[in-house]
Homo-oligomer: A and B are copies of this chain.
Amino acid sequence: MAEIPNGPLVGLRVIDLTRVLSGPFCTMILGDLGADVVKIEPPKGDPVRGQGTMTDGHSGYFAGFNRNKRSVVLDLYSEAGRTVLRRLLADADVLVENFRPGTLDKLGLSAAALKDLNPRLIVASVNGYGSTGPHADRPAFDFIAQAMSGFMGVNGEADGPPMRAAPPISDLVAGIYAAVGILAAVIGRDGTGRGQTVEVAMVNGLLSLMAYIASEYFATDRVPPRTGNDHPLVYPYGLFRCSDGQIAVANSHDQILRRFLDTLDLGWVMSDPRYDSNPKRMAARNELRDLIDSRMAGKPRDHWLEVLNVAGVPCGVVQDLGQVAADPQIAAQQMVIETPWQDGPSLRVLGFPIKLGGTPCAIRHPVPRLGGNTAEVLAAAGFSAEEIAGLAASGSIATD
């Protein structure tokens, strides 16, 4: 794949000790942008290699988080394996890890030791709660971070239980934030000549997304209620019934609401004394819902999507993943792509959400076979063929 132009992060050397989700998502973003990501795996590999439905023995779940990386197997429980790691780190720009706080110290890679080894190294950690504070040592998991951050508490129906988001978004949001922090530290290093630590906690990342829900709490000290799919402050807004199913409509302010009602030939609603203010419309939401549903039920979703979007009303379908994969907009945006596997099949994965006009994201490295790049990475780091063979014979590395 030599003909693909370099990404913007070409030359950035990332040593990736992460596994499972938050860290691998961070390093995949860096790899998609052209960084040289060397994924250090234990002899048994990242556990995700064995998770999810297999295609020809290959995990699509692993592919979705590990394209654009190279795999090196090191046994970090052996002194020889740790020595190899230190040699790779001496020449790297970034180390990323998502162990529980303290694990790096146990591997002999304390902050002080790393600074001695390579003062320009940026050391990034993704964890559950942060490395300081009373919960620093707690085991973390996406579901728990959703619960503890306040995120889950505001999701769900008003009369139902708090509801998690099904995707593991606390892992993923922390991974994206870690990428921001790492790149900022790379830029900052130009001025200082020194690396630094970067840390993102899953709970903190998700809490940072509470937006106006948090600012309203801070301003009023009132704990926000759950409101399901309805907007807490505006009506009509939400899901409405067409002849062949529902559409989502976001009448976020009066100007858009007027366009919506006009398109439905319900323009009179805005001047009817029963409905001529938002508080009145909130109070009459059941009546208004019936009125709107009965009008929309006369035509199918595609009709309403067409005329409402042309009128400037934000609206859409609640798409399932099959519909998303068939959506011409998603195709135009290349958001479902194929990635090859080193010596394996091509698998469908999600595309690149960051679109760069000059040096775009691209698949520059296939999903790596476990240890499929050990020999080449060690050779480039100055290990002789004899050293590599000796390390492989001792089990401290695996070359295939």
Contacts and interface: CB of A to CB of B under 8 A. Distances in A.
Contacts of A257: none
B332 A132 contact: yes
A11 B191 CA distance: 10
Given A321-B224, A358-B192, A205 B52 contact: no
A258 to B, nearest CB: 14
A285 interface: no
B151 A165 contact: yes
A332 to B, nearest CB: 3
A203 to B, nearest CB: 7
B229 A199 contact: no
A355 B152 CA distance: 24
Contacts of A190: 190
A318 B147 contact: yes
Contact of A8 (B156, B184, B348): B184
19 contacts: A52-B219, A130-B355, A134-B332, A135-B329, A139-B309, A143-B229, A143-B250, A144-B314, A144-B316, A148-B324, A154-B167, A156-B163, A172-B211, A176-B177, A180-B183, A188-B358, A205-B353, A208-B350, A218-B349
B335 A187 contact: no
A133 interface: yes
A212 B190 CA distance: 37
A46 to B, nearest CB: 13
B321 A356 contact: no
Contacts of A53: 215-216, 219-220
A358 B51 CA distance: 38
A61 B319 CA distance: 30
Interface in A161-182: 161-169, 171-174, 176-181
Given A188-B356, A203-B329, 14 more contacts: A6-B191, A33-B180, A52-B219, A133-B328, A133-B331, A139-B312, A140-B314, A143-B237, A147-B316, A148-B329, A152-B318, A155-B166, A157-B160, A177-B354
A200 interface: yes
Contact of A167 (B179, B209, B350): B209
B357 A150 contact: no
Q: How many copies does the complex hold?
A: 2
A-B CB proximity, top 4 nearest: A8-B188, A133-B332, A196-B358, A197-B357
A214 interface: yes
A110 interface: no
A135 to B, nearest CB: 4
Interface string A227-266: 1110110000111000000001010100010000000000
Given A183-B183, A187-B9, A359 B320 contact: no
A38 to B, nearest CB: 19
